[in-house]
Structure 1
Amino acid sequence: MPSNNATAAVPSVRRRLVSMVYELLLAFAVLFLPFLVFEMLVDASHAAAAEHGRQALAFLVLGAYFIDQWSRNGQTLAMQTWRLRVTLPDGAPVPLKRATLRYLLAWMWVLPALVASWAFGLEHWGALGAIAIGIALWALTAFLDRDRQFLHDRIAGTRLVQLPKPVKKEAAGAA
C-alpha cells in the first residue's frame, strides 16, 4: 500500500516512544514460549553457556518477529494500535533485507549502553540507568533529522509514518 511521501504524516517522537513501551510488553509475550522450552532444556541453569544461549535466543526470536512483521505488512501489533507503519521513503513496503538491516540497527538503542555497562562493570541499577540514558540519547537523534526519523531508520533507508484515523461507521439506524 504505497502512500504519497509528501502527504504521509510523521508521527511524534512521543507517540513512537509510547508505542515502543507497548512493543516491549508484547516482546515478553513473544519470548515466553521459546524461553519456557529453553529453560526446560537447560534445567534453568545459570552457567555462562546457558546465559549466552538466552541472549542468542532472545535476539533470534525477536528478530524473526520484527523482521517478519515489518516485511509482511509494515506493522507489528503495537504499531497497528498506535497507527504507525514502517515503509521505504517513497511509501513502498519494506523488503526482507531492509527489514533485517533495520532490526540490526535498532539494537543501537541499547547496544552502546550494554557495552558501556560491561566495560565499566555496571550491574543492576547502574546498568539499567546506562540503558535508560542510551535510549534517551538515541531518541534525541530524531530531533537532528529533518524528517524527524530516528537514526536507525535514516541509515536503513526506512521511515515511520503515521496512518490516518479510521473512518467511523455511522450506525445503520441513524438517518
Structure 2
Amino acid sequence: MVTEAQKLHASFPSAGILRRLAAWIYDLLVAAAIIMLASAVALAFAGILSATGMITLTEEFDHAAWLAQGPWYSIYLITVVAIFFGYFWKTSGQTVGMRAWRLKLQNRDGSKLSLTQVVIRLLTCCAGLGSLWVLVDFKNRRSWHDYAAGTELVVLSKEANQLFYWHDL
C-alpha cells in the first residue's frame, strides 16, 4: 500500500550533478570530522593497550605508527564512514549535506531504502564518482549506485524538506 508521503516523494524531480556535488562537498566536511573523532578513539585505544602493557612501543614506533602498520585501521575508518552514510540513508534518506541542499534518497515509489539497498549503494558508489554518470544519463539523471540499488536522488521543495525534516526527528 502506497502512503500519501510516498506519493508526494515520488513526484519530485531527479537531482542534477551540481546539487549532488554541493551535498557531497558538505558531507565530505562532516565525514572528515567523523574520521578525526574515530581516529581519536583509535589512538586512545592504542594508548590504553600501551599503558596496560598489552603492546610495547619504541620511540620510533608510536601509537599512530602502530595503528597504521596493517589494514585494520583503514578498514575501521572506512567502516565508520560507511555507517555514517548508511545510517542516514536508511533512516531518513538524507545526510546532513543532502538535507542542506534539499536532496532525498528514496526508492522509485518514494519509500525508504532497505538495508540491502543501502549496502549495495555503499559498495557501488565509488566514493561519489558514480554520480558522474548523471552527466551521461540525461533522461533519468541517475547515478551508477542509483541503478545498482534501484534508488533515486530527488530534489525536495523547501516545504517538503521542512516537513520531512521534522517528521524524521
Q: Common fold, TM-score beyond 0.5? A: yes
Aligned equivalent of 1:130:
none
Aligned CA RMSD, in angstroms, stands at 2.1
Q: CA deviation at 1:156?
A: 1.2
Structure 1 contact 4–90 (Cα < 8 Å) conserved: no
How many pairs are equivalent? 139
**Which of 30, 51, 59 is residue 26 of structure 1 equivalent to?**
30
**Structure 2 SS opposite 1:142:** helix
Over 3 Å counting, the alpha-carbon distance change for 1:10 and 1:47 in structure 2 is closer
Tell me by how many angstroms 1:150 deviates: 1.0
What is aligned with 1:54? 73
- In structure 2, the partner of 1:159 is 152
Structure 2: gaps (5+ residues): 47-62, 161-169
What is the deviation of 1:92? 0.9
Superposition misfits of 4+ residues, deviation over 2 angstroms = 3-7, 39-42, 46-50, 143-146
- Normalising by structure 1, we get a TM-score of 0.71
Taking the aligned partners of 2:23 and 2:67, their CA distance within structure 1 comes to 35
Question: Structure 1: how far apart are the matches of 2:10 and 2:96?
Answer: 26
TM-score, structure 2 length as denominator?
A: 0.73
Structure 1: any 5+ residue segments left out of the alignment?
A: 111-134, 168-175
Q: Please list, as runs of the form range in 1=range in 2, the aligned pairs for 1:29-108 lying within 5 A after superposition.
A: 29-42=33-46, 43-45=63-65, 49-50=69-70, 52-106=71-125, 108=126
Conserved in 2, the CA contact under 8 Å of 1:86 and 1:161?
yes
Say if 1:34 and 1:80 are closer, same or farther in 2 by CA, change over 3 A. same
